Structure 1
């Protein structure tokens, strides 16, 4: 596509009749309009582009807060549920809820169920605007802090079996905390069942069913609106926390499921990676050869933005690195796989392929 700008002049070949007699004004106007449209479609150097062909862009959800399904429901308790660790757990009160997992999914779900007022503790991953003043029970390393949990006197603690290490589970059990564990796997198929499981544990199954249906509908609509491609794009998700922690995602990371929802292929999985996350090497990046790089916004900032990302081993040698085709999205929602999932797919689709025509 032409990269001419509206200020460029069209000069006919010397000696031609048209050069001597001049172009008609209507023809010149049409040519100028074509050049203007072509320049706009190709984007501007170093900026985001709408065509989805090159350059960095940010996938944006206007409001990161999950939308409550309705007014605050009244829990019907006690309820006995099967925890993911295999135990049957009876929840007697939902007055003081701590919801803490790596990506903030459980806190988002509690909020979307309409029980946000009862949320007294969250994880670092649960940082959407509405709960920023809610105490954080995870330390600097992202691990759960048992003392912080106990200090908040939770009536029920929601977490998953990855966030709570075995030693933490033993401490919570010894302290008599009512804990319900959930599946830590990030899959599209698991989004709706987990919403219903959280609702059942908190004694609000009707709100859970309504939220599950809304989430199902939003995911279906967002997936259906993803533009069809003759050849699936190759997208790699990179987990970045300064250049000291730079990982490429593979099977089971959750990013693979999100990329599939965009009608694309996960570059890490296609390159033969076996683990959910693998340390980035030049060989791994060049072998994956992604056309698009997907990252969390804070992670991208931690390496110095797009220019800093290109200093990560192998990135500059990939198709995505050469075109700076980088899509970032808020850490709060990108891999949350909760009630915002449909909105995440829609925003990523717009960022990767360009906004849909109005």
Structure 2
């Protein structure tokens, strides 16, 4: 996720934390978590909703970049985005056996043997993709450089862009768009129904009638010197809300998805729990290293060492497994 760090740092370096916590609040009564934990999916693999679907082709779809793209074959699919979401959707649609190339963020077991076509972490490798002779490339603007995607189009390969946003509300539309481009819209509807059911069941795990815990997501990359706190539209806010908690970045009035961490901002926010990505936590030296970041150790979360790490490929992917991610997080918070 090195490119994520660079993008976030560039986009939000000048943003301030703002906002002031007011009044007092009762101690949370919903939390069972008493210390550090890892929110692990009980099942990390992707399971297709159908086997061996029959695509109805050709189809012409409007790519997210505005181009009209005709897909005549899905025999050799390349899926590339920053989070591995597109690979997850294609495998869930039952077309995983046709994926011949993937990004390095695709982390579920079924895709382990598919060749990686990204270089230097998250940069597209045009030569590697062309060598696979793909019949269609699925991508978005979260990955690049854009010259590579254009080069693929100039080589005559259908390249379909999808919306790069990753939100809980956007999951159904994302699935439907991918299914339409691959000629399996009815399978897409089956997958949407399955994912919606998992999300609904996961949301029900949050206790009712208790004071909701206050959570914040910190994006940290020690090797790159990136230390950011999340706010509205970060993606993390949707996951926090889904488990019945308060996203403190939104609560204290942040107006950017990510801002640099400051002691003042964290002390205003008063999070009961801090979320981090697993590799990010490792990059700062684990729990003790995270607590040395100014302000972190003085929060209720820091004082109680209530730090929850989630796999980098799970927390913000917003693919078909998102209900499982919410479930894993809710169980850590409320079952201890």
When normalised by structure 1's length, the TM-score is 0.81
Gaps of 5+ in 1: 1-49
Q: 2:319 is matched with which residue: 316, 321, 338?
A: 338
Given that 2:31 and 2:213 are in contact with CA atoms closer than 8 Å, whether structure 1 keeps it comes out as: no
Alignment: residue pair count:
306
State how far apart, in whole Å, the 1-side matches of 2:124 and 2:68 are: 22
State how far apart, in whole Å, the 1-side matches of 2:44 and 2:279 are: 15
Question: 1:83 maps to which residue?
Answer: 63
Q: 1:110 is matched with which residue: 67, 81, 90?
A: 90
By how many angstroms is 1:206 displaced? 2.0
Match runs of 1:271-310 below 5 Å: 271-310=252-291
By how many angstroms is 1:292 displaced? 0.7
**What secondary structure, in the 3-state scheme, does the structure 2 residue paired with 1:189 have?**
coil
Match runs of 1:130-141 below 5 Å: 130-141=110-121
Question: 1:212 maps to which residue?
Answer: 192
By how many angstroms is 1:229 displaced? 4.8
Q: Does 1:123 align with 2:103?
A: yes
State how far apart, in whole Å, the 2-side matches of 1:191 and 1:237 are: 20
Question: 1:238 maps to which residue?
Answer: 218
By how many angstroms is 1:149 displaced? 2.1
**What secondary structure, in the 3-state scheme, does the structure 1 residue paired with 2:319 have?**
coil
Change (3 A) 1:185 1:124: same
Q: 2:140 is matched with which residue: 144, 160, 169?
A: 160
By how many angstroms is 1:113 displaced? 0.8
By how many angstroms is 1:278 displaced? 2.2
Q: CA RMSD in A?
A: 1.9
Given that 1:84 and 1:161 are in contact with CA atoms closer than 8 Å, whether structure 2 keeps it comes out as: no
Match runs of 1:218-257 below 5 Å: 218-242=198-222, 244-257=225-238
Question: 1:21 maps to which residue?
Answer: none
Q: Does 1:196 align with 2:176?
A: yes
1:150-173 per-residue CA deviation (whole Å, 9 max, x = no partner) reads: 222211111112223443343333
1:18-53 per-residue CA deviation (whole Å, 9 max, x = no partner) reads: xxxxxxxxxxxxxxxxxxxxxxxxxxxxxxxx9624
By how many angstroms is 1:122 displaced? 1.2
By how many angstroms is 1:224 displaced? 2.1
The higher relative CO (CA closer than 8 Å, separation ≥ 6) is in: 2
Match runs of 1:258-277 below 5 Å: 258-277=239-258
1:280-303 per-residue CA deviation (whole Å, 9 max, x = no partner) reads: 233332232211111111221222
By how many angstroms is 1:327 displaced? 1.1
Q: 2:37 is matched with which residue: 57, 81, 90?
A: 57
1:90-130 per-residue CA deviation (whole Å, 9 max, x = no partner) reads: 11111111111111111011111111111111112112122
Given that 1:66 and 1:111 are in contact with CA atoms closer than 8 Å, whether structure 2 keeps it comes out as: yes
State how far apart, in whole Å, the 2-side matches of 1:155 and 1:279 are: 42
Q: Which moved more, 1:266-275 or 1:162-171?
A: 162-171
**What secondary structure, in the 3-state scheme, does the structure 1 residue paired with 2:86 have?**
helix
State how far apart, in whole Å, the 2-side matches of 1:176 and 1:313 are: 52
By how many angstroms is 1:192 displaced? 1.1
Structure 1 or 2, whichever has the larger Rg, is 1
State how far apart, in whole Å, the 1-side matches of 2:267 and 2:312 are: 26
State how far apart, in whole Å, the 2-side matches of 1:271 and 1:139 are: 39
State how far apart, in whole Å, the 2-side matches of 1:144 and 1:269 are: 34
